[in-house]
Amino acid sequence: MKISESPALKGLGQRRVRFYITNPAPCPYLEGQTERKVFTNLAVEDAQSLHDALSHGGFRRSQSIAYRPACASCKACMAARVPVSEFKFTKRWRRVLNKNKELVRTAVRPSASREQYRLLKTYLDSRHADGGMAGMELRDYVSMVEGSPVPTVIFEYRAGDADDAPLMAAALVDVLKDGLSMVYSFFDPSLTDRGMGNFMILDQIRYAQELGLDYVYLGYWVEGSPKMDYKAAFRPIEVLDAEEWRRLEDE
For the stretch 61-108, pLDDT in tens is 999 999 999 998 899 999 999 999 999 999 999 999 999 999 999 999
What does the alpha-carbon distance between residue 181 and residue 82 come to, in Å, rounded to a whole number? Answer: 10
Question: In which band, very low, low, confident or very high, does the pLDDT at 3 lie, cut at 50, 70 and 90?
Answer: low
Closest listed residue to residue 120, CA positions, set 59, 185, 42, 176:
185
Question: In which band, very low, low, confident or very high, does the pLDDT at 15 lie, cut at 50, 70 and 90?
Answer: low
Is the model's pTM score more than 0.85? Answer: yes
* Mean pLDDT (whole number) for 34-45: 95
pLDDT at 41 over 90: yes
Say what the pLDDT of residue 133 is: 77
Pick the CATH number of 83-215 from 3.40.50.360, 3.40.309.10, 2.60.120.10, 3.40.630.30: 3.40.630.30
For the stretch 146-156, pLDDT in tens is 999 999 999 99
Region of poorest pLDDT, from 13-27, 160-174, 183-197, 202-216: 13-27
Question: In which band, very low, low, confident or very high, does the pLDDT at 1 lie, cut at 50, 70 and 90?
Answer: very low
Where do the domains of the chain lie? 83-215
